A = this chain, B = another copy of it.
């Protein structure tokens, strides 16, 4: 009785698990991503601060935690720089020691990240978003989502970010989140077994990743919609992504890694001055938007060129040395320029802030006498960061491109803001500034907001996203009253960027690595039809049966000889359907083994006619793929492309009045659509 009731309970449990499997995985993924993101933040902070010093009463405290609980005016003695720790008095020796430890630890972190990635999980390198886009559109690459990749990516990411290299944690967190969803999904047969369900789950997980990376639950959903093309799978996916995103953000807020109990990362101060913007400011903002479009395109070009060069040069053999060398270079350069030395997130947070006498001045940024020096320094920082990032994004370490891009844009924006402010101070009576308050002491231009505009323009130029960028940016900054200028700058920078090439950086990388991914853009043919792109029937290997059916041996022969994904099946000349090699193999093996001698001679048929239904003939028609489309060869190419895009088809058969004319695979369509991308297939790793 106990057993029976247990079975009953188990049965009930497994029923519940079956029906809620997807939701459970989603909730777990959301929680996991939120917690992982929070702990990564804490780890990065600690590692980053370790480069500068240590906490006297506990090695594992970062600077902020170490100094917490002090009154505003009090000096923090608990946190010691390394020179204080080793009790070095000489100023020269101090600075040597500090820079030595800073650079050495930076190199060590970056080097260990590279060793980890190289040794244990090569798929953990880079941002991961191109691969996720490809996977979401149907590419099967389970190694990319393995638990090892998860572990190494998370650990490597923390090390890489702390090393001071010019990279962000945003894209990799999306990858981490997807790995986590994949891991959890293995607990539930019905999610794991089904490729389409798995993809939907991964889409929701990716949303959670962005949600946590930026503390932007809405922006995450929109990122999923816009960049990951989860459009095509319908509103269910959005709804699930929405839930995952909320849960992840709640988990993040619960852990509260920054101790601010706020999701907003870079709070922009909303004072009466800054909520109003004036029409003349559109001129510098448009300039920033155009600059963002141009520099964004430049960054894409440089990055692609660097990746291609790396592949063809000797560096390809020595990825770890490349990382070590480049991190040494980065650390050395960064140590010289004050704005480069800090972590990017700290820099951005300060660039977004308005000057305020009540708060400390960040490295003299608010010093009114040093405007031009600051402008020079900011432009230098932006230029250096652009060059560093273009090389870093693609090395053998986890690396995101969002934060460096924001930092570059924020530097430029702040510089333009400072220039505008300087002009206003110099010529307060100019007609341009007539809408400013008459008293010159009342601030009119707020350079902090120019930094936000610069960041959005730069992001627009690099990623070519629109709506999601705007949402992420104003969830990041809270600058709701300025949504219109942010939208305008994203819009213009995308326009300008599109002039230099329509594709964002992720699409370029997908094309370079030749993943089977179709850009969602509209394709226009020039009168071509399906016929122009299909592999003609004459070149295809087919399974042909005649009125007598075919023998198992015939089929076995074809399956053994050719490694194609599947074969069209003909009856005489007539097209019957399509059957995959995998399915044939698993069905044939037992049939052949059953009767080793005569088995191979047994008749079988795909075109099961009711009249021929005798027991001797094996009916193979259930093996035919039900969902393979047959198109006519006169179908316009435009329509074929749009069908493959929207229905996510692997292959379509082309027929002419019931006879096989040819076959079109997704690969053909991808090649067709990405033909004019720069560097297509330059980093391709394998045939697919």
Contacts and interface: CB of A to CB of B under 8 A. Distances in A.
Interface string A218-249: 10011001100001101110110011011001
Interface stretch (A59-67, A423-431, A463-471): A463-471
A491 B250 CA distance: 13
A418 to B, nearest CB: 26
A195 interface: no
Nearest to A250: B484
A535 interface: no
Contacts of A264: 480-481
A270 interface: yes
A521 B234 contact: yes
A574 B480 contact: no
Contact of A657 (B262, B467, B632, B658): B658
A265 interface: no
B471 A238 contact: no
A276 interface: yes
Nearest to A245: B487
A217 interface: yes
B478 A480 contact: yes
A272 to B, nearest CB: 12
A598 to B, nearest CB: 32
A639 B658 contact: no
A311 B161 CA distance: 66
A216 B581 CA distance: 53
Interface string A461-504: 00000110011001100101101100110010010000000000
Interface string A638-667: 010011001100000001011100000000
A467 B232 contact: no
A231 B224 CA distance: 13
A356 interface: no
Q: What class of interface size applies to chain A in its complex with B?
A: 35 or more
A685 interface: no
Contacts of A480: 264, 474-475, 478, 480
* Copies of this chain, tallied across the complex: 2
A286 to B, nearest CB: 13
A639 B234 CA distance: 14
A626 B636 contact: yes
Contacts of A632: 577, 630
A659 B658 CA distance: 8
Given A478-B480, A480-B480, A466 B636 contact: no
A520 interface: yes
B481 A478 contact: yes
A198 to B, nearest CB: 16
Nearest to A490: B242
Q: Which of A222, A235, A243, A249 has the most CB of B within 10 A?
A: A235
14 contacts: A217-B484, A225-B225, A234-B520, A235-B521, A236-B521, A238-B466, A242-B487, A246-B491, A250-B484, A475-B480, A574-B658, A627-B639, A629-B631, A658-B659
Given A234-B520, A234-B522, 4 more contacts: A238-B466, A249-B487, A261-B276, A475-B483
Closest 10 CB pairs of A and B: A658-B658, A231-B231, A646-B646, A246-B487, A478-B480, A627-B639, A242-B466, A234-B520, A221-B467, A235-B520
Interface of A: 217-218, 221-222, 225-226, 231-232, 234-236, 238-239, 242-243, 245-246, 249-250, 253, 261-264, 270, 275-276, 466-467, 470-471, 474-475, 478, 480-481, 483-484, 487-488, 491, 494, 520-522, 529, 574-577, 624, 626-627, 629-632, 634-636, 639, 642-643, 646-647, 655, 657-659
